[in-house]
Structure 1
Amino acid sequence: MTAARGPLLVAVSGPADAGRSALVGRLAALLRERGLAVVVVRGHGCLLCRRLPVRTRVRDAGEPGGDGWARRATDPERRGSAPRRVHAFLEAAGLAARIAVAGTVARKRARTRGGQAVVVTERGPLDGLVTFDPPAASGVAGAFRRLAGRYHLTLLVDTGPDRPRGRDRADAAGHPAPSWARYRDWSRRLPRIARLDGERAPSLVTGAAVERIVDAIRERERAAEQGRVHALEREPEREQEQAAVHARTHAHAHARERQREQAAERSRAVPARNPARDAVRDRPDGTRRRHIVVSVYDGDDLPGHRGGGALVAAKVARRLAEDFRVTVVTAGRHGGAEERDGIRYVRLPVRGAGPRAGRLLFLALLPLVSRRIRHDLWLESFTPPFSTSFLPLTTAAPVVGIDQGRRAEALRRRYRIPFFLVERLGLRCYRHIVVTNTADGVAVRRLSPRADVQVITGGVEQRGLDETRLGTGQFILFLGRIDSWAGGLDLLLDAYDRVRPPLDLLLAGSGTPEEERRLADLLAARPDGTEPRIHWVGPAEDDRRRQLLRDSAFLVLPSRHETFGLTALEGMAYGKPVLHFDLPALRWMRDGGGVAVRPFDVAAFGERMAELAGDAALRRRLGRRAGLAARHYTWDETTGRYLALAHRLLDAPVFPRRPRMRGGVPTAGPPTGSASASGPPRRRRRGRTGGGA
């Protein structure tokens, strides 16, 4: 056999009483007889995990139904203790390190002896998932799934739950039947799983395992051969493409040289440009149009990234462009600048670094960009996780911080990282801050007492209220960015499964690839036999968004953290009630068609969901109130307040700095005819009462 690139990685999984260790030994012997270089990795788990047993189930206080035992859900409060999660990560890291070392040894043996290299591990990622049984969307499950993607084949010795229980830690928690249920559940979520009938004779089981491994080797060789053939077939095409690229390069170089010669000729004939003189021509009356920069991470024209902050920034930029020159600085996969609808857009190339690193790079680059773009006023939409970027320290122009995504406190609760320390320090640098709700205004005034804090809410496109559609609807709608934790999607799915309301649940929106995978795992982890009445329809833009709002019965907003809830306001404009947790930032919906539930009370949320789904008269009454309340939030009012704020900061007269007073005499210049002109005034010596100086 010809050696394929990299060793073949095989895992033998199943409880210890399935003869896993003996099967690995027999496999290694038979594969060596076939001329393969075999390295065996005996898996025992990490040291801490062997010393401390891991309970695969936790008791959830107050959980209704059953005997009080509940499987761990995706709620961070029910993921298990931190030491147990550390144990799981240690086992995954240990397994990764062992297979890396074994792969190096196997490649060395294959080069020395020839043939294919094979690494056989006694335990695999499937055993780790069964041992710890983490939530499907947790970091532990993700680590083991990434490790399982590196395996070319996993042999699951299926002996069934009726065999006697051994000493394997996966079976230490109780009867083996639950353990085998977990094996079969997790095996459906991992790739390249091959089941072996463990009830057969050991020789037959070993023979079947060898056949599976040989088939995997042949499949790799077949794929490698097809790749070589395809490369040979593509060789003439690549040569033609390279020749065409060389020709285009030469043509472009010749064109650029010609353009430079023409530009030099024009520069000799036309006088040099004077920026100060040309700036005066910005307006017909000869006055210079002042320049305002709006910075926001999410762009309003990028699919999957059009959030509420991007929409508000786009509306404000268009309104400011009526009186000012406007530049919008946002994030993009590629850098560059363009002009659209009278607004200049500058994109910073940071999205290629990923959602988290991209935001950090965007915050780090803003102070540098502020030194490159000349401006009279800067509007900065705060960007998580640190929100602020200390921009006022790098520019002399006024900076207005817009709090549309300040989530440092919520991220601290989620990741246990003190993002809020940087945020609190940065807020003290701002003298002008805009918030979207009164609760955030109180919090920001407490963190930055010297700042001028204004509350400017979001807006919505006004439309007539259709009385004939009030109370109607075909489904329950969640509309927004996919974020399982901050958006509370795990709480929503739990509440829906508890009450099973008569209407289907539609999830509309998109997010980062990681968050979308997490939502897919949440949907896949629902109990077996559950009727598929939860549908994820993907992103909804423009016409599709309006259709979903029009046809929905009511909206759900199960967020753990919100700044305003622009989607809720949009649904209210269509006469739809909004079910949400009673967060301080959402209390503007009181008496306006909003149905508030005690924060994070999943049972109460499910009960109100079932009540709204089954009572059309209640939806009609709340929908009419929601539609009337939405009329008070118009984009004209919102953007007009931003325009007024810009004029107030830029049109205010600049007074000369008042000289400081020292001893009742101004210190702007030395007093004439006085000896103190050559030095500081002498300090008067205090005497006793009635004494002289």
Structure 2
Amino acid sequence: MTSVRGPLLVAVSGPDDADTSSLVRRLAVLLRERGVTVLALPCRGCFLCRRLPVPPRVRDAGEPGRDAWARRATDPERRGPWPRRAHALLDAGLLAARIAVARLRARARARGRQAVVLTDRGPLDGLVRFGLPATSRAAASFRRIADGYGLTLLVETGPGTLRARGREEAAGPSADWWDRCRSWSRRLPRVTRLDGDGAPSLVAEAALLRILDTMRERERAAAAVPERGTAGARRHVVVSVYDGADAPAHRSGGALVAGKVARRLAEDFRVTVVTAGRRGGTEERDGIRYVRLPVGRAGPRAGQLLFLVLLPFVARRIRHDLWLENFTPPYSTSFLPLTSGAPVIGIDQGRPGEASRRRPRLPFLLVERLGLRCYRHIVTPNSADGSTIRRLNPRADVQVIPNGVDQRLLDEALLGTGQFILFLGRIDTWVKGLDLLLDAYDRARPPLDLLLAGSGAPAEERRLTALIAAHNRDPLSRIHWVGFAGEERKRQLLRDSAFLVMPSRHETFGLVALEGMAYGKPVLHFDLPALRWMRGTGDVAVPPFDVAAFGARMTELASDSALRQCLGHRAGITAQHYAWDEMTGRYLALAHRLLDSPAAARRPPRKRGASSWQTTR
């Protein structure tokens, strides 16, 4: 039987240090009784934590009012004072060092048997305690540590229980503390909540069951994956996408879609993701191998070109059974089917289209047309682009698979409300139509402020800064650019906005629009063919590039909360038909069909009202 590599790392987190330490001691005894090697590691902070209390956190994203939503992510008020940030980095570094030593000790004691390392504090405690913004370096350090944990047990203990146990000083963690805790627990991997108000023995029993379940899952996963080179090894699928975690200028919906698809394919295949980065290297997270090509330092455009040039050579070195290539704008394809001996699926999440005619430095459209003819299988998220690709390559099997969105309950109380008009996306003044948006807002002068959230290449950000300065002539500026918005910040902006604007000259799907619709927010956009999947679903479409009409509808939506409520309800219902589980399931079914697996063509169950499986073939 295949052995499980390394000890299982388990953190016990919660508002009361004494409770978590006591639970760790109970779990250590129970696991040893079952023949498991256990190492209990006390991790109650660094030497500064034991001598100096952490000062109160600077409130930011959760605060109501204009000063909160108009604040940039790089503002000192949001990043907090530098002593707090330095303290958090020191604490994260010492925690990582203790964990590394504890793993070595546990592995030496186990001698091939199962081993568990228990800590009475984890990365979740550090993130909550220091109140770190999601984009800070200290938060990134804690999140990297969290990736190494096999399980985090969050013990939720109420103030009444703490008082009954004689700990008055710990009774009553603030509502702000619990808000941060719940927010981070949703974003960190493998976090399980436990009811800490019960008897300590019952809490320990529930925690023990969770740990044993996790250990059994690790054993099953290890037994299910044969060693490389042995008979019966799983098929290898490679997903390539330029947008990586450390390519901040090109964060796009394509990277999100590639990540969702890769995680779904990993259920049945061995998956490798090839992406760009400032430094080369490989790493493995959640069962997926990531290969970074060191092209990020070349800049946005040159980096994209280098990525496409290197991709065929990488395909020759990585043995694979199927390759999913995300087209990279503005250069589109890399002619990968000419160098790969396996099937290649081209994914059109960012083909430049007509928007690149403004930049005729290279024959983008000629490269695109020649490259598309090399592909036999292409996926596009909208029917309009599917028809265009079918005309360019009549032999291709073109599948239309829309993007998805994380499902959430629609809050009826928030429908029709909002404090500002929101643009959310990559900063590209021409493609995203930001010049048109500012002109329309300046002409119409709607009663709500305009907020722009996103980041882009340095040249594009400078261009946007100049545009905003030209339009912000009043002493009280009503146009705000807050920079890059992380996941927590993005959710806050979507929740507090009145409606979204999408003035793009070119789109392939409009994933941001779908995310806004999931929050019950109407979407105002130009009537582009790629955005007609929204028609009649809580959107407001105006003739393409009609600035006057765009401004008029912007004023109408900003002034009429009843209209926003009606459109928002319709938008929220529509977003429920675009679940990620169903959309990524279509990629999985396509992969099975091409690889001729015994489990071929497994189509996900069709939900009532969901969009049909479309094809232009």
TM-score (norm 2): 0.59
Task: Give the alignment partner of residue 641 of structure 1, picking from 586, 590, 594.
Answer: 586
Following superposition, the deviation at residue 531 of structure 1 comes to 3.7
> What is the correspondence of 1:259-338 to structure 2 with a 5 Å cutoff?
281-282=226-227, 287-300=232-245, 302-338=247-283
1:423 pairs with 2:368:
yes
1:579 pairs with 2:579:
no
Indicate the percent of aligned positions where both proteins have the same amino acid.
77
Conserved? CA contact 1:411–1:417, under 8 Å = no
Which position in structure 1 is the counterpart of 2:489? 544
Task: Give the alignment partner of residue 471 of structure 1, picking from 394, 400, 416.
Answer: 416
CA distance in 1, matches of 2:265, 2:293: 22
Q: Which one-letter code corresponds to 2:545 in the other structure? A: F
CA distance in 1, matches of 2:486, 2:343: 35
What secondary structure does 2:354 align onto? helix
What secondary structure does 2:541 align onto? strand
Which position in structure 2 is the counterpart of 1:606? 551
> What is the correspondence of 1:245-256 to structure 2 with a 5 Å cutoff?
none
Q: Which one-letter code corresponds to 2:559 in the other structure? A: G
CA distance in 2, matches of 1:414, 1:583: 20
What secondary structure does 2:555 align onto? helix
Number of corresponding residues = 376
Following superposition, the deviation at residue 529 of structure 1 comes to 3.5
Which position in structure 2 is the counterpart of 1:260? none
Following superposition, the deviation at residue 461 of structure 1 comes to 0.5
> What is the correspondence of 1:385-424 to structure 2 with a 5 Å cutoff?
385-415=330-360, 417-424=362-369
Which position in structure 2 is the counterpart of 1:490? 435
Unaligned runs of 5+ residues in structure 2 are 1-222, 599-617
Conserved? CA contact 2:449–2:479, under 8 Å = yes
Q: Which one-letter code corresponds to 2:547 in the other structure? A: V
Give a deviation string over 1:299-323, Cα, whole Å, max 9, x none.
1465453310000000000011111
Conserved? CA contact 1:279–1:288, under 8 Å = no
Distance 1:501 1:377, change over 3 A: same
Q: Which one-letter code corresponds to 1:363 in the other structure? A: L
Give a deviation string over 1:402-441, Cα, whole Å, max 9, x none.
0000004321234464310011011000000000000000
Q: Which one-letter code corresponds to 1:536 in the other structure? A: W
1:456 pairs with 2:401:
yes
Conserved? CA contact 1:300–1:314, under 8 Å = no
> What is the correspondence of 1:29-178 to structure 2 with a 5 Å cutoff?
none
Unaligned runs of 5+ residues in structure 1 are 1-277, 654-693
CA distance in 2, matches of 1:548, 1:529: 24
Q: Which one-letter code corresponds to 2:491 in the other structure? A: R
Following superposition, the deviation at residue 281 of structure 1 comes to 2.5
> What is the correspondence of 1:230-241 to structure 2 with a 5 Å cutoff?
none
What secondary structure does 1:545 align onto? helix
What secondary structure does 1:555 align onto? strand
Distance 1:467 1:529, change over 3 A: closer
1:377 pairs with 2:322:
yes
Give a deviation string over 1:538-590, Cα, whole Å, max 9, x none.
11111111000000000000000000000000000000000000000000001
Q: Which one-letter code corresponds to 1:613 in the other structure? A: A
What secondary structure does 2:471 align onto? coil
Which position in structure 2 is the counterpart of 1:96? none
CA distance in 2, matches of 1:367, 1:637: 31
Following superposition, the deviation at residue 280 of structure 1 comes to 8.7
Conserved? CA contact 1:412–1:418, under 8 Å = no
CA distance in 2, matches of 1:581, 1:420: 23
CA distance in 1, matches of 2:472, 2:325: 45
Q: Which one-letter code corresponds to 2:575 in the other structure? A: A
Give a deviation string over 1:643-679, Cα, whole Å, max 9, x none.
00111111269xxxxxxxxxxxxxxxxxxxxxxxxxx
Q: Which one-letter code corresponds to 2:484 in the other structure? A: P
Which position in structure 2 is the counterpart of 1:344? 289
CA distance in 1, matches of 2:439, 2:475: 12
Which position in structure 2 is the counterpart of 1:438? 383
Which position in structure 2 is the counterpart of 1:525? 470
> What is the correspondence of 1:672-683 to structure 2 with a 5 Å cutoff?
none
Distance 1:558 1:423, change over 3 A: same
Which position in structure 1 is the counterpart of 2:76? none
CA distance in 1, matches of 2:408, 2:537: 16
CA distance in 1, matches of 2:301, 2:534: 32
What secondary structure does 2:462 align onto? helix
Task: Give the alignment partner of residue 510 of structure 1, picking from 452, 455, 479.
Answer: 455
Give a deviation string over 1:325-362, Cα, whole Å, max 9, x none.
10000000111111111111101111111101111111
Give a deviation string over 1:129-187, Cα, whole Å, max 9, x none.
xxxxxxxxxxxxxxxxxxxxxxxxxxxxxxxxxxxxxxxxxxxxxxxxxxxxxxxxxxx
Following superposition, the deviation at residue 279 of structure 1 comes to 12
Distance 1:531 1:648, change over 3 A: same
TM-score (norm 1): 0.53
What secondary structure does 2:358 align onto? helix
What secondary structure does 1:281 align onto? coil
CA distance in 1, matches of 2:430, 2:398: 29
Conserved? CA contact 1:474–1:552, under 8 Å = yes
CA distance in 2, matches of 1:609, 1:530: 23
What secondary structure does 2:250 align onto? coil
Following superposition, the deviation at residue 471 of structure 1 comes to 0.2
Conserved? CA contact 2:517–2:572, under 8 Å = yes
What secondary structure does 2:482 align onto? strand
Q: Which one-letter code corresponds to 1:500 in the other structure? A: R
Which position in structure 2 is the counterpart of 1:622? 567
Q: Which one-letter code corresponds to 1:569 in the other structure? A: L
CA distance in 2, matches of 1:367, 1:473: 48
Conserved? CA contact 2:472–2:479, under 8 Å = no
Which position in structure 1 is the counterpart of 2:304? 359
> What is the correspondence of 1:172-251 to structure 2 with a 5 Å cutoff?
none
Q: Which one-letter code corresponds to 2:420 in the other structure? A: F
Conserved? CA contact 1:391–1:399, under 8 Å = yes
Q: Which one-letter code corresponds to 2:287 in the other structure? A: G
Conserved? CA contact 2:405–2:579, under 8 Å = yes
Q: Which has the larger radius of gyration?
A: 1
Conserved? CA contact 2:249–2:300, under 8 Å = no
Larger deviation: 289-298 or 526-535?
A: 526-535
Conserved? CA contact 2:472–2:478, under 8 Å = no
Root-mean-square deviation over aligned CA pairs: 2.0
Distance 1:528 1:472, change over 3 A: closer
Which position in structure 2 is the counterpart of 1:175? none
CA distance in 1, matches of 2:225, 2:504: 50
